Each structure stands twice: as structure tokens, then as C-alpha cells.
Amino acid sequence: MKKLTAWILLASVLLGMTGCGNSTVNTAEETAPAVSSPTPDAAEPAAEETEVTSVSLITDKFGGQNYEGREFRILGFDVGGHFANNISNTFMEVWAEEYNGEIINDAIYDRNAQASELLNITIVPQLVITPADMATRIKQAVSAAADDFDVALQSLSNLGTTLQNNELANYLNFSTIDTSSPWYDQNSVDTFTLFGEKLYWLTGDYMLLDDYAVHVIFFNKNLVTNAGQELPYDTVREGDWTLDKFCTMTKAAELDVNGDGRMVIGTDIVAHLENHDKIKHWVYGCRERSITINEDKTLEIATLSERQVNVVERLYHYTVEEGMTYSISDDTQLSPAFKSGLASSYCIALAFINQYRDMDDDFGIVPMPKYDETQEEYGHYISNYAATALCSPLTVYDRDFVGTCIETLSAFSTDTVNTALYDVLLTSKLVRDQDSVEMLEIALSTKYYDWAVDFPWGSTFETAYNGVYDKKTFNYVSAATSALKVQTKMLERLIDKISEFED
């Protein structure tokens, strides 16, 4: 679903190419004037258009390949490993032993089986529990020049240090990988391609945690409508869902339940709940990022750009001055408060939707609001910790083989794993209305990645953003200015190191 537009465009291009490629040279006999013109009834029937799908594309590309059962080894997180336990006690991205009736499991089984059949390969999972375990495995393989595995599905935020250590292969040097393919997230490709020539990880249809890591807004329909507010779906569709309208909607539902003059999480009906990141992911919702690394190997730190300062100042106004946001250090209280009808809205990663399966009040999902109506697209913070990305160790030796397997597994994921995500959300009634499914499609197609914040060099960015809420004063400009020198130094060192990598 999230690739529908890409498929339509691709189909148009391919059909255009077909039309331009059928020219022939006629003989004298063929160019002689015809005695009569055919009537419309006698005209040749139009050729039937062939639907272009991920399966047809990858079959055309690699259908003649036969690796005679060769093993393709994937290093992934086991059941209960990394972030998976927030989704279910059986969730795993890379492997399914057999059909068991669970939608995600069966989709992964189908994906692997289809890729295995097309290429005649044997997929072999190697499973670890934590991102630290996986980082160690990658380091060991590179240090020993060992051929231990072909690809890893690692937590995105943990790849920063691994990259700086020169332990990752450059996917732009894999001749069989086309990073413009619609089964890769082009938001990620565009952000993480360095200098126009280096790309060390891929996200897209193959994995699910990159979707579950997207922060969306859960809102209580009962509280919103009882407060005389309209449900925001049409406003989102019209492109007018802004910070101002979100604040108005959530504040209208507030109620001092016990009348003591104080608004307390878990006791009163508060406007909006936030956990660790009170400001940060809203900045991305306004389509501001902290760092841009340019093709000429320069960088731009945008924290003090006019628009970004204005964005953070407006967020300070709503979250602090208007009192829209409520947050406490013990964030285990936040989800129960929302679930019990004591908060109008809650911004959290999609992965936690399972917690509201049996929520009494009806809830909906909407995208993060825009800064104002002039912002063209919505934007969505993706937790780089929760999200996973495909990467390969620097020492991987048969890059044509590995690239072919990555492309094929990713392509077969579009109609299996990617579709299964929506099936799970719908058939298990996690999402309770079709409007919210449409809202999720918007959110999942507008992920906004950044080199800052969640990577090892990013704590100073996060501190500057969240400080305006934590300290209840607009100290952002001074905090961002103070951090600028050390940020520039760290990032220039990063660029210098990566520029020297010869892979």
C-alpha cells in the first residue's frame, strides 16, 4: 500500500518504454498505398496491459538465476530480542519455521519461500538478542576477515559506531542492488546516501520494525467529540492538520476531575501525553532535521536556521505556555492513563498499539501535525533505536550474490510482509476504523530520517530540543549555540573518516 504511487509511476514509465521501442523498417511492399482503410470494427484489439508488480519485476530481473541451494545467511534478532517484545511474544523479522496461522509469521514464511524458490537458495538465520550482540558479531567478522554471514538486520542507531569503525560494506558498490527500487524506503536512501557515492544500510519493505518505530498520535474519539470537536481526519486529508489545530482539539477535552485545581496524570483528563521526547519528534513532524551532509562532503547543522528556531519556539508555546503537554519521569503511567480515558491524546511509536486492544473508549490515529498550512508534507520521527536496517560486513566477499538475495527478498516482501502489517492492524481490530488506516498510510510514507539525535554523536541535539520543555523556559537558541562547536567537530571527524573508506 505504501508503494502504490511508486508502482503507478513505474508502470507508466515501462509502458512508455514499450511504446517507444517497437519501431521497424518497412519494405517497399509494406509501404505501398493500401486499397482501402480498415473500418473501426475491423481494427486490431488493443494489447492488454500487463500489471507491473514487485514480483514481476524481480522475476524478470533474476528469474534465470540458479544458485543450486547455496546458503544465504542472515543475522537477525531472535524472538524477544531487541524491540520485538513490544509487538508480540512471537515476533521475528527474518525467519519463520513454518505456517502457524499468525499473519506476520506466515507472511515471512511466504517471503522467504518465494525468494528461495526463485533463486534456488537456502536461507539460514543466525539469531542474537541485543543490538550489542549484533555489533560484536559484525566487528568479529571484519576483524578476522571471516565469512560468517552475508547480511545483518541491525538497530539503526547502533550502526553509527559500526560505520565509524569502517566495518560496513557500501551497498552502492553492489552491482545487483538498485537502491531506487520501490521496495526500498527512498526517504532513507536519500538521507543516508553520503557524497552521492556511499550507502551503508537500507530500510524498506523487508523489515517491519522501521514501520512500528514511527511515532503517531493516538487520540480518544469519545473525549474529542464530547468536547464538541470534530474528528480530525478530513483536516488531515485537506493538508491543514497543524500544531494550532491539534492543540485546540486536545485542550478542549481537559477536565479537572476532582476539582482540586491541579491537573494530574492518571487522575484528571489531560490534553496530551508525552514520554521521553517532549519536543524532538515534533520537530521532525514539522519537517526540520538537524544535519544535512552534502555531496561535496560538507555538512550543514540546521539547528539555528530561522525556520527551525521558529518551530521550536512554537512548540515551546504550545507544550509549556499553553499547557498542552503532560509528561513525567515514570512513563509507565502514561499508557494506562490514555487507555483508561484520562488523556485526549498520546504520541508514541506504532509498536505500542497492542496495549490498546481492549481499550473501552474508541480511539483513532492521526499523523503528526504540520508547523502551519504552508508546510507541503507531513513528517514523522522514526525511532532509530527501534527501527532495523539491512547492512553487510565489510568483508562480505560475493557481493553479486548477496545483492541479488537482498533485492529478491525485499521485492517479495512488498506483497507479503508489507501487506501483512496492514492485515494485522485491521483483522485484529488494533485499528478500529478505515480512516485511521488511511492516516497510517500517510504516516508510514512520510518518515523523516536524520543523521543526528539517535546516533552516538546526537545527545547534544536531543538535549537542546527537549530542554525547552524540561526547564520550562525558551532556552533553545543558547543551548543550540553552545552545542554547535562540539557538534561541528564530531561531524567533521565523521565525514573525514568516511571519506577515506575505500570500499
Helix (H, G, I), strand (E, B) or coil at 109: helix
Over range 470-494, report the average pLDDT.
94
> Does pLDDT of 3 surpass 70?
no
Over range 476-494, report the average pLDDT.
94
| Of 297 and 114, the one with more pLDDT | 114
Among 306-320, 401-415, 454-468, the range scoring the smallest mean pLDDT is: 454-468
Q: Thinking of the domain 215-381+455-500, which architecture would CATH place it in?
A: 3-Layer(aba) Sandwich (3.40)
Binned at pLDDT 50, 70 and 90, residue 201 comes out as very high
Over range 120-128, report the average pLDDT.
98
Q: What is the mean pLDDT of the chain?
A: 89
Instruction: Encode pLDDT of 387-435 as tens digits.
Output: 999 999 999 999 999 999 999 999 999 999 999 988 888 666 688 888 9
User: Distances from the Cα of 119 to the Cαs of 68, 105, 173, in angstroms?
Assistant: 8, 22, 21
Instruction: Encode pLDDT of 147-188 as tens digits.
Output: 999 999 999 999 999 999 999 999 999 999 999 999 999 999
- 419: its cell numbers: 501487506
Question: Do β-strands 70-77 and 447-448 pair in parallel, antiparallel, or remain unpaired?
Answer: unpaired
Could you please report the per-residue DSSP string of 390-428? EE-BTT---HHHHHHHHHHHHHHHIIIIIHHHHHHHHHT
With contact defined as beta carbons under 8 Å apart, do 326 and 274 qualify? yes
Over range 89-115, report the average pLDDT.
95
Instruction: Encode pLDDT of 58-86 as tens digits.
Output: 999 999 999 999 999 999 999 999 999 88
> Which residues in 210-223 are b (16+ Cβ under 10 Å) and which e?
bbbbbbbbbbbbeb
Residue keyed to cell 538465476:
65
Model pLDDT, residue 163: 95
Over range 219-234, report the average pLDDT.
98
Binned at pLDDT 50, 70 and 90, residue 458 comes out as confident
- Residue 243 burial (CB < 10 Å; 0-12/13-18/19+)? buried
Binned at pLDDT 50, 70 and 90, residue 51 comes out as confident
Among 3-17, 212-226, 346-360, 462-476, the range scoring the smallest mean pLDDT is: 3-17
CATH class of 56-211+385-427: alpha beta
> Does pLDDT of 240 surpass 60?
yes
| Of 502 and 400, the one with more pLDDT | 400
Q: What percent of the chain clears pLDDT 90, i.e. is strictly above it?
A: 78
Model pLDDT, residue 85: 85
> Does pLDDT of 455 surpass 90?
no
With contact defined as beta carbons under 8 Å apart, do 193 and 200 qualify? no
Model pLDDT, residue 470: 94
Angle between helices 54-62 and 399-413 (to 10 degrees): 160
Between CA 413 and CA 110 the distance in angstroms is 9
- 287: its cell numbers: 519537517
Longest dimension (CA), the chain: 98
Helix (H, G, I), strand (E, B) or coil at 248: helix
Model pLDDT, residue 20: 38
Between CA 479 and CA 313 the distance in angstroms is 13
Instruction: Encode pLDDT of 270-282 as tens digits.
Output: 999 998 889 998 9
Same topology for domains 56-211+385-427 and 215-381+455-500, yes or no? yes
User: Distances from the Cα of 78 to the Cαs of 86, 105, 154, 274, 414, in angstroms?
Assistant: 13, 13, 12, 30, 22
Cβ of 297: how many Cβ atoms within 10 Å?
A: 14
With contact defined as beta carbons under 8 Å apart, do 167 and 148 qualify? no
> Does pLDDT of 23 surpass 70?
no
Hey, where are the domains in the chain? 56-211+385-427, 215-381+455-500
Between CA 14 and CA 412 the distance in angstroms is 20
